Structure 1
Amino acid sequence: MRRAALAILIAVFAGCGAGTTEPPADAGRTDTGPRTDRGPRVDTGPAPTGDGDGDGVCDATEAMAGTDPDRGDTDGDGLTDLYELRFGTDPLNSRQPDAADRVQLRESPSEVVLTDHPVVVDGEGGVIAALWQDRGAGIDDRLASAWVSFDLAAVGADPAGVVQEISGARFVGVLGRTRLSWRLTTRSRAGASEGADGGVLRLGCRRAYEFVLVVRAEGGEVLRSRRMTLDVLGAQGGSGVWPAVDPEGFCQATRCQ
């Protein structure tokens, strides 16, 4: 019974939370709203009704999903029940989504995180490249690229002999079955202080955003598409003191579904 109800809820939340996939873009925004203390109530609509934990999932909906109405993150994996329902994973399973599909960084000046992402492909002698795409807004109605910049680089092939050249995010002359690896560099846009150095204003709370890594062949054919999660950690108590962060300081919603 719960599984059927969960499937229905995931379909409903996915329709509300995820937008269409757009071409890769670097938003380059310099003002994303005022910074507030730990757990700010992001202005997304009228005050919540029947949402005890403020996670954006109404208590009645939590009863259907089997989640805890008093905890924003029922399974304790660092992602709110709202995000998991939108993403399409079980909010009671801490192994979903897969840790390999998650990029976590602090909302801190000069924060940089490097992650490698291998893909097995069958090349036919052409060019195979990777790119990233925003997909769906977070609890603050913004995209991942409002808070970070992404950069992809091709870093290696196994076996190496089936690739003629590596250039930027492209493998050139891929012939045969091979394991290609790309390195994703994720850089925080947070300024040293509010608005400093062209940085965005920090929210000071934890939230997540969906983005996609896409591997394409020459001509545009999509070979692989991998859904990813950007997990942004806010400062402890919204104080901006680094490196201390509050892993449970989730952004709070002002309405629920």
Structure 2
Amino acid sequence: MSNVKIALVTGANKGIGYAIAAGLGARGHRVGVGARDEARLETAVEKLRADGVDAFGVPLDVTSRRSVTEAAELIESQAGGLDILVNNAGISGAMGPGWLQGPTDLDLDVVRAVVETNVLGVIQVTNAMLPLLRRSPSPRIVNVSSSVGSLTLQADPDIEMGPVMAAYAPTKTYLNAVTVQYARQFAGTGILINAACPGLVATDFTGFHGPRTPEQGAATAIRLALLPDGGPTGSFFDDDGTIPW
């Protein structure tokens, strides 16, 4: 029986997700590359394989129940199980100049779309992958969040948190809260689930604005994906340690 661990990273065709997939692959894991754009997915898998990563493509739209179900079936057939799930896929929703999403003039359709991907998509994917994860001796789940989801930091007038993002930021708060609820239910099962903040990373998601590289942004998620048994669960981390809720 192979000792190679199997990982699935959603939204892994580019940016932080790709860096997470590459990092896990470089550590000897077989990596399912989840993405909804099949052309970009194929390109990402080819690039990872060229770099020596044992990667396979997983067509995946986290907002589609059918797509998520088919992804779980594909992982079962391609890899026979799953040890690590990194819920990285996410969207910001339409923003005004300076990344502003003011709460007083929000388009509710934008809010619904961001919640659908950033929160409901995570729940849908996690629950679909649970039967596979429960068969792993050391299952790990990492939800890629953001410090803008920290109510403590957002409410502190002495901390500069950037522009108001009334659609995007609350979805990360919601994701953090969901992470805690999963951790409570998983208590005693061996499943460790945590939230990771990558920091401000220069990718197309941020308009390539930010001081951090995708590899730097991926580091915390990779660390949490590789936690030893008995490691922390139900917590929120960045490179420097625990982030307040």
TM-score, normalised via structure 1 length:
0.25
Q: Which has the larger radius of gyration?
A: 1
Instruction: Name which structure has the greater RCO, CA cutoff 8 Å, separation 6+.
Output: 1
More strand as a share of residues: 1
More helix as a share of residues: 2
TM-score, normalised via structure 2 length:
0.26
